[in-house]
Structure 1
């Protein structure tokens, strides 16, 4: 994964008022921490930060004015619940060659055998990888797999240098027999009966 350079500014103002002023200038308040250093409070350019964080686990090269450049990964991104704009970012400092734990996406490809239902139990998986070589994701091919097939974390083909950071028996995909219309109707009727729902009898058509 290529690193993305972002020019940052150090900041000395804190609190909600200061944060609002920063956002009005189309900038994002952020904090850099890790490796035993004191937290570094910075301001990031809003547009560049938004573009960079569209990629999961984006590796950022933060160039702080008047200071050394630091490699960092986004740890927590706070967004406006309505607008979706970035309000604050927590960044963890990493070193080249350092191992980190991150979630990567699972991309399912292919189609299972006919008459089956594919249930994706986990859309991502926690792995350990080098901070500067975090994979974009892992591909899982289910082409032609039959009902009764269960795919676990240990079955995933991870990129070189990447290892699982979860229980190998973690269920990823479960392939079952697809329910027929009759089975779905029966299940709905059972659920309604348990909930005490009584269906109205069908109205007879006038003679």
Structure 2
């Protein structure tokens, strides 16, 4: 679903103009596409931020420009890394019913079996979907998944009207056996040995002292 935002055509350009726009709690933006010249706009800051939060990475906005409405798909959003306010937005002009190519995030649902490690190998997937029916995310159910479970792109359930543009064999989620502390330590030791790294005696002493202190604490607790 698209959200309506009233936009103003922007006639001032450059860093100084952009700073003045942001000080007024507004956002500079550009709409590209359909063979037309880019349309430079100024959008209301708070309304635009809320629309992007509701719509996700592929937010669809109905931009009201000089009394006309333009459907626009969000393509790139620049955010200030410190103040976290919107700095600039790039849109692509689209039409209702038009197919577009988008990147949609993967969202894991549920909990895998105990003592397993869940790794998301591919965090976003490429889809073709109607501009007005872009999914906010693709759910992947891992409830009760045992070690050895692998979920590939071909296993995903896509919304009606969406087409996968990814190799079906692409690994999306991999569920493995969780390693114990001893196994991790042994693996680290092997890696260090292969790299020719030798632990200093001081390192070994610290490990031994730590182990002894732990044992002493446990014994005192039992008493």
**Structures share a fold, TM > 0.5?**
yes
Counterpart for residue 39 of structure 2: 40
CA distance in 2, matches of 1:134, 1:88: 22
**Structure 2 CA distance for aligned equivalents of residues 149 and 128 of structure 1:** 27
Unaligned runs of 5+ in 1: none
CA RMSD of aligned residues (A): 1.7
TM-score (norm 2): 0.85
* Counterpart check, 1:5 vs 2:4: yes
Post-superposition Cα deviations, 1:17-40, rounded to whole Å, max 9, x if no partner, equal 111111111111111110001101
Task: Find the counterpart in structure 2 of residue 139 from structure 1.
Answer: 139
**Unaligned residue ranges in structure 2 (runs of 5+):** 210-223
Query: 1:114 matched to which residue of 2?
Result: 114
1:132 and 1:53 mapped to 2: Cα distance? 15
Offset at residue 113 of structure 1 (A): 2.6
CA distance in 2, matches of 1:7, 1:144: 47
1:80-131 C-alpha deviation (Å, 9 max, x unpaired)? 1211111111110010001111122222122223332211112221111100
Q: Could you tell me how far apart the structure 2 residues matched to 1:77 and 1:112 are?
A: 34
Give the distance between the partners of 1:101 and 1:140, measured in 2 at CA. 21
How many residue pairs get aligned? The number is 203
Alpha carbons of structure 1 residues 90 and 197: separation in structure 2 relative to 1, 3 Å: farther
Indicate whether 1:202 and 2:205 are aligned: yes
Identify the structure with the greater helix proportion: 2
1:142-199 CA deviation, whole Å, 9 max, x = no partner?
2222222211111000111111111111110011111122111112223344262514
SS in 2 for 1:132: helix
Return the index of the structure with the highest Cα Rg. Answer: 2
